[in-house]
Structure 1
Amino acid sequence: MTALMPLGGLYRLTMLAALCLVTACGLPRSGPTKKEIYSGAVERGGNTHVIYVNDHVARASNFAASYGFSNSFRQAATVGADEIRAGDVLGLSIWENVDDGLLTSLGTSSTDLTEIQVDSGGYIFVPYAGRIRAAGNTPDQLRNIITERLSSQTPDPQVTVARVAGDGATVSVMGKVNGQGVYPIERPTRSLSSMLARSGGVSIEPEVAVVTVKRGNDSGKVWLTDLYASPSNDIALRPGDVILVEEDQRSFTAIGALGGQTRVPLGNEMINAIEAVAMVGGLSTNLADPTGVFILRDEPESVASRVLGKPVVGSQRMAYVLDLTRPNGLFLARDFLIRDEDTIYVTEAPFVQWNKRLSAITGGISSADSVASFGN
């Protein structure tokens, strides 16, 4: 008959099995440890610059991409309120001060030329006046040009010009506005702010609204609040402009040993690392390592060169380390600004993994006790 294993031997066997299980399979965790992140540093053959944040780093990295219009947008002149455009249809009336004029028949004093379409090049043809450029002129300016052309052939001609069809100079307004559509550039709506008002205003909170203007192959954007705060941002509109209002999509991501793990919108505020951590519930009291707060980002070449103190080529992958336990750690975190697409990662404290291992072992022993009790 085979002898039963002593209970002490069963405990040792159970503990050995638990240790093997923990070592072989690992334990659940929220992400890499500080040591694992450091192993990917450039100094160790990796492709990430791991940088402890100090006063120099905080100042050098505080680059914020700003919105605004280029000089070509800011310096564009105001267009006439009623400019003629290619595709418009015009109606002309011509009076001549003779009984038998160039265009009038005997017994009549005027001639109506209806539905003269402005061609794709911006021109129209008027008998005896020839091919005339209409696009870019107001109806009154075109009237003067035609009158001058006819004056050399008939005495004192009188001309009127009216738009029969077409909206003249127009812009398109779309996105988060209360009235999307195509609007003519009229005397009260020659600027960006007045056109937005004409379309009913924005339908989202002004603090997160971004206004983009596309003009040909160029485009520019500005915060709605900056549009009204600075007159230089209230640009003059041009025919064919496309105005798009949308909610700002800038954000950062928070993961690891934090009160919450989520993607957080930035809005148009300048947010520092302390505020960013607070926005997701702060550090997890039971899990977080306050010496391992990482901000991960791809730095543009100019900023990376300032931070590293040497020239680099192209954008650089950076892992900024904040140690909140240092005497000035909280101040440095307060001075370090968070940018679009940043990832904030907080490592777990070393004892957390130890507790998990211990719990796995003691849990295994408790299970062995239950088995032994059941066997007895």
Structure 2
Amino acid sequence: MGFVSLAGCGLPRSGPTKSEIFAGSVLQEGDAFVVSVNSRVTRATAVTPAFGFSSGFRNAGVMGSDTIAAGDRLSITVFENVKDDPLLGNTGQRVTPLEEVQVDGQGFIFIPYAGRIKAAGQTPEGLRDAITRKLDTQTPDPQVTVTRLAGDGSTVSVSGSVAAQGVYPIERPTRTLTAMIAKAGGVAIEPEAALVRVTRGNSSGQVWLTDLYANPKNDIPLRPGDQIVVERDTRAFTALGATGSQTRVPFETQTLSAVEAIASVGGLNTNWADPTGVFVLRNEPAEIANEVLGRSDLRGDQRMIYVLDLTQPTGMFEARDFLVRDGDTLLVTEAPYTQWTKALAAINGTASGAAAIDTLAGG
């Protein structure tokens, strides 16, 4: 009588039993749909985040590396064909360097004796011709060179999980996304868990780092003012019950199967776990829930409990193919005998304690 009473009381355990979870199903007037995982269910629930860049990003075209923009810096040198009285230099100085000429916010530069000249939108060659025409009427046969130095007008910012955050100029070697990330020292986290987001004005797009390198279409041309952020995937699931550890676990790869999720927390606890009672709990969108259940009347998110039986001939294959998603709860129930083992241990402990008390009292 005492054993039955002890077994029925609240012994310590890691979570609900398999029978208690089934008792919460809609068929038992509960509020969750309990579904056994098979290949059809696996296909219906195999939803992964779809990332990528819009056509506006992909079709922008590589920016001309020699196009001058407002904020750029220019190196300009004027060679004059006179010896005694040059226009720009001192007496006897035929070569006049104009270093670090800044293109102003309106796209103009100022050259002595030539005045303000529109530079933004021109190539160095076009600007050279414009300066030459302005000076030609004042000094005989001037020779002008113009070199574009990347400046504030042609830069992007790179931040997040990269080796060297900062503002970088768009130059000939760094006109695309992958080249600019390499310029910033590459990513500082595991590539499989890295997302790359680009914000351009009011538009934004993101892509997995591995997809960026695997698909050349994702290596978009950059534009001045782009903001590039490399960040770790924020998805995670929660592991509870008779597993190696009970914790919140971040995703380390783009996709994560139930088997991989179990392995990431140390596998099933060999002393407690019930391999027939592995559950994945989630709030499923109505369109997926309807497909899984063969219905069309459900509206809004539905509480779903997916059941994996690892003892079945195909159980391990189903667990290998079934994808865990962001926010899921992975629950491994305890084997039925575990509670009896705990009850017996409690009884033995109680009996030992009573014997010790009798011994002390008799002494």
TM above 0.5, yes or no, is yes
157-166 vs 227-236, greater mean Cα deviation? 157-166
CA–CA distance in 2 between the matches of 1:339 and 1:209?
Answer: 17
Tell me the alpha carbon deviations over residues 339-363 of structure 1, each in whole angstroms, 9 at most, x when there is no partner.
Answer: 3333211011122122223332332
Correspondences of 1:24-173 after superposition (within 5 Å):
26-87=10-71, 135-141=120-126, 166-173=151-158
Partner residue in 2 for 1:9: none
Give the deviation of 1:148 after TM superposition. Answer: 10
CA–CA distance in 2 between the matches of 1:143 and 1:301?
Answer: 64
CA–CA distance in 2 between the matches of 1:375 and 1:94?
Answer: 111
Contact 1:122/1:135 (CA < 8 Å) preserved in 2?
yes
286-295 vs 44-53, greater mean Cα deviation? 44-53
Tell me the alpha carbon deviations over residues 78-121 of structure 1, each in whole angstroms, 9 at most, x when there is no partner.
Answer: 112244444557799999xxxxxxxx9xxxxxxx9999976656
Contact 2:60/2:221 (CA < 8 Å) preserved in 1?
yes
Change (3 A) 1:265 1:165: closer
Contact 2:66/2:148 (CA < 8 Å) preserved in 1?
no
Contact 1:83/1:169 (CA < 8 Å) preserved in 2?
no
Change (3 A) 1:51 1:213: same
Partner residue in 2 for 1:327: 313
Q: Could you list the runs of 5+ residues in structure 1 that have no partner in the other structure?
A: 1-11, 96-103, 105-111, 151-155
- Structure 2 residue corresponding to 1:345, chosen from 323, 331, 335: 331
Does residue 252 of structure 1 match 2:237? yes
Does residue 303 of structure 1 match 2:293? no
TM-score normalised to the size of structure 1? 0.74
Give the deviation of 1:296 after TM superposition. Answer: 1.8
Give the deviation of 1:238 after TM superposition. Answer: 1.0
- Structure 2 residue corresponding to 1:261, chosen from 241, 246, 249: 246
Tell me the alpha carbon deviations over residues 17-38 of structure 1, each in whole angstroms, 9 at most, x when there is no partner.
Answer: x93x7656x1211012223323
- Structure 2 residue corresponding to 1:198, chosen from 183, 187, 199: 183
Contact 1:208/1:268 (CA < 8 Å) preserved in 2?
yes
Change (3 A) 1:163 1:312: same
Tell me the alpha carbon deviations over residues 6-25 of structure 1, each in whole angstroms, 9 at most, x when there is no partner.
Answer: xxxxxx8xx48x93x7656x
Give the deviation of 1:211 after TM superposition. Answer: 2.1
Correspondences of 1:260-279 after superposition (within 5 Å):
260-268=245-253, 270-279=255-264
Contact 1:253/1:341 (CA < 8 Å) preserved in 2?
yes
Three-state SS of the structure 2 residue aligned to 1:295 is: strand
Q: What percentage of aligned pairs have identical amino acids?
A: 58
Please identify the structure whose Cα radius of gyration is greater.
Answer: 1
Contact 1:172/1:182 (CA < 8 Å) preserved in 2?
yes
Contact 2:150/2:170 (CA < 8 Å) preserved in 1?
no
Tell me the alpha carbon deviations over residues 228-271 of structure 1, each in whole angstroms, 9 at most, x when there is no partner.
Answer: 22211111111111112233343333221123334444323543
Change (3 A) 1:279 1:362: same
Three-state SS of the structure 1 residue aligned to 2:279 is: strand
Give the deviation of 1:130 after TM superposition. Answer: 12
TM-score normalised to the size of structure 2? 0.76
Does residue 313 of structure 1 match 2:305? no
The one-letter code sitting in structure 2 at the alignment partner of 1:331 is F
CA–CA distance in 1 between the matches of 2:232 and 2:179?
Answer: 20
Change (3 A) 1:42 1:118: farther
Contact 1:63/1:303 (CA < 8 Å) preserved in 2?
no
CA–CA distance in 1 between the matches of 2:332 and 2:124?
Answer: 67
The one-letter code sitting in structure 1 at the alignment partner of 2:194 is A
Three-state SS of the structure 2 residue aligned to 1:67 is: coil
How many residues end up aligned between the 2 structures? Answer: 351
Give the deviation of 1:287 after TM superposition. Answer: 0.8
Three-state SS of the structure 1 residue aligned to 2:324 is: coil
268-277 vs 189-198, greater mean Cα deviation? 268-277
Tell me the alpha carbon deviations over residues 190-218 of structure 1, each in whole angstroms, 9 at most, x when there is no partner.
Answer: 11112122223233343433322222232
CA–CA distance in 2 between the matches of 1:115 and 1:330?
Answer: 67
Change (3 A) 1:359 1:115: closer
139-148 vs 276-285, greater mean Cα deviation? 139-148
Contact 1:274/1:333 (CA < 8 Å) preserved in 2?
yes
Q: Could you list the runs of 5+ residues in structure 2 that have no partner in the other structure?
A: 80-87, 89-96, 136-140
